[in-house]
Amino acid sequence: MPEESPVPTQISSPERPAAIARLRRRFDAWYRKNDIWFLIGMLAFTAVFVVLWSNIVISVRAGEAGVLWSRFFGTATDRVYVEGTHVILPWNKMEIYNVRYQKVDRAFDVLSNDGLDIKVDVTIRFRPDEREVGLLHQRIGPNYLETVIIPESYAAVRSVVNLYRPEDLYAESFQRIQRAVTDRARREVRSRYAIIDDVQIRRITLPPTVRDAIQRKLEQEQAYLEMTYRLQREEQEARRKLIEARGISDYQRTISATLNEPLLRFRGINATRELAQSANAKVVVIGGQDGLPLILNAGTSMMPEALPAVQPAAQTVAQSVAQPVPETATRTGAEGVTQP
């Protein structure tokens, strides 16, 4: 029968404090012999750790992503270091990328459909694809803005603006041109591990001579539209006056058929009553066969041959007004107070 292997002895609970005491005595004895070298080693380790702290402990802040480059295994394209604190070996290196939306302003000189120089000012909003930051770092690098974003945006602006003539750029909607530029830039940049959110066109500057000619043309078009509007308005006004004249003619034709002398006399009496009850200053000259004011007398003709019959009544009123007022008469003050 094979011999049984010896069972390793285990330190029982009562013997454990004694074993710990023996290890402590051995360490104290070793430390008394090598205390200086121990202190030198600890100081050296602390100095190395402090010097290499920035290469060992890496902090990835909010809105950032890290890519690890190993000296022995290369770029870790399958792992992205998210926000937080990470510990790496001192001979490795971690590259930090800003994965937030960023913007940059650029001015591009492009050619129109007929070969004229046009300046286009744009604002590009972009960010790297945080899921593919490792591939972006390996194949393009941190300078991806100048390597990918700007060139592809310039190519998109050039290809879209080249489809239009200068005067068409004035007439075409900025939104349509901007949408076409953004769609083209997105397609080209998406395969290069970055994302273009928008390409906003701030201004399109044409050559001065072309700009002045287009502005004059637009002014003439606006003047033509204004004149057309005026003619249409005058035509509508002429139709309105014609309809108004027809209405007045119909009204007079209808009224003349119902007018008679008793109705006119009744209207004259009502007008005289309202005039007499009015608080305004007035002089009413009454005469004629109906006892109405001269302007309302239906039976009195106002032709020149009827004027001599009115003159005696007017002279009588004038003479009565010109007679002196007795001293005992009362006078009305400026404010309506009766004075003796």
- pLDDT, averaged across the chain: 77
Q: Are 83 and 61 in contact (CB under 8 A)?
A: yes
pLDDT at 102 over 50: yes
Q: Which helix (H) or strand (E) is 75 found in, with range?
A: strand 74-75
CA distance 307 to 301: 9
Q: How confident is the model at residue 157, as a pLDDT?
A: 92
* Class of the domain covering 102-206: alpha beta
Average pLDDT over residues 91-119: 89
Is the alpha carbon torsion for 83, 88, 91, 92 positive or negative? negative
Q: How confident is the model at residue 34, as a pLDDT?
A: 78
Instruction: Specify the range with the lowest mean pLDDT, choosing from 18-27, 37-46, 316-325.
Output: 316-325
Q: Angle of helix 150-161 relative to helix 174-190, nearest 10 degrees?
A: 140
With tokens 């100081």, the residue in question is 43
Q: Are 164 and 113 in contact (CB under 8 A)?
A: yes
Average pLDDT over residues 195-206: 89
pLDDT digits (tens, 9 = 90+) for 12-24: 556 677 778 778 8
DSSP state of 146: I
φ/ψ of residue 258, rounded to 5? -110, -5
CA distance 337 to 222: 68
CA distance 199 to 223: 35
Tokens encoding 152: 């592809």
pLDDT at 310 over 80: no
The beta strand positions in 134-226, using DSSP E, are 194-205
Q: How confident is the model at residue 28, as a pLDDT?
A: 77
Q: Spell out the residues 6+ positions from residue 103 whose beta carbon is closer than 8 angstroms to its own.
A: 123, 124, 125, 126
Tell me the domain boundaries of the chain.
54-98, 102-206, 213-258, 261-277+285-302
